Amino acid sequence: MAKISKSKTGLKGISPKVTVEESELLIGNKTVIRGYHTQECRPLKLEQPIKCVRDDARLGFAYYFWIEEDFSHSWGQIKKWTSYDVYTANLNIEKSLNTVFNEKHYLFFRKMIKEAIQQFRKKDMSVTLEMVNAFLAKNVWPVYDIKCIIYDDKPTNKPKANLIYSEIPDLYYNKRIQVAVFNIENINNFKLYLKNQKTT
């Protein structure tokens, strides 16, 4: 960890040594983490998460979870719902592709996407997110036994929705991390955490 000197910062009261506390994020050798799953408020609580099957889903068809509660609320506010529910679950990430905190995983992830794109370009085909995700789901993730992907879903400032992920325009220092879980078997202890959260 770099040391920041008082003379260089010019800020009074700032310690010359910066210390960072360990968080509940993906640090160390965790194989199970807590995830937050946001859905529209329903009369009956869900017994299991809802799988996203939208063509524009970032990482393809999967069960999507946030790893920080704040972003589960942000997502509920963004959606055109009157109110939303937040569920929690224990996510088995033992066979995950951690593109956020693991450099090798990130480089592998990037390489596989580039290779998928090249496969389509060789055939003079237009490349879409849906096509790349379908290719990876069929030809890459099963081969390497990848059960989920940990991904930094880039945030944007949305002042009208009162959702500011950064107090400095264009400097998004808060990672908005999602876990896309491909198989329901890797999701345990799914339960309702917060009911009927109102949108603003």
Per-chain mean pLDDT for the chain: 83
- Quickly count: other Cβ atoms within 10 Å of residue 14's Cβ: 11
The pLDDT score that the predictor gives to residue 93 is 93
- Residue showing tokens 């880039």: 154
Q: What mean pLDDT comes out for the span 51-74?
A: 92
Bridge pairing between strands 32-40 and 83-92: antiparallel
CA distance 153 to 150: 9
Mean pLDDT value across residues 112-116: 95
| pLDDT of residue 85 exceeding 60 | yes
Residue 70, pLDDT score: 87
The pLDDT assigned to 1 comes to 39
- Residue 161 Ramachandran class (φ > 0 left, ψ -120 to 50 alpha, else beta): alpha
What gap in Å lies between CA 86 and CA 30, rounded to an integer? 23
- Work out the average pLDDT over 150-154: 88
Q: Radius of gyration over alpha carbons of the chain, in Å? A: 19
Q: What is the pTM of this model?
A: 0.84
Residue of 176, 143, 146 whose CA lies nearest to 62: 146
Say what the pLDDT of residue 155 is: 64
**Predicted confidence band at 178 (pLDDT cuts at 50, 70, 90)?**
very high
pLDDT at position 179 is 96
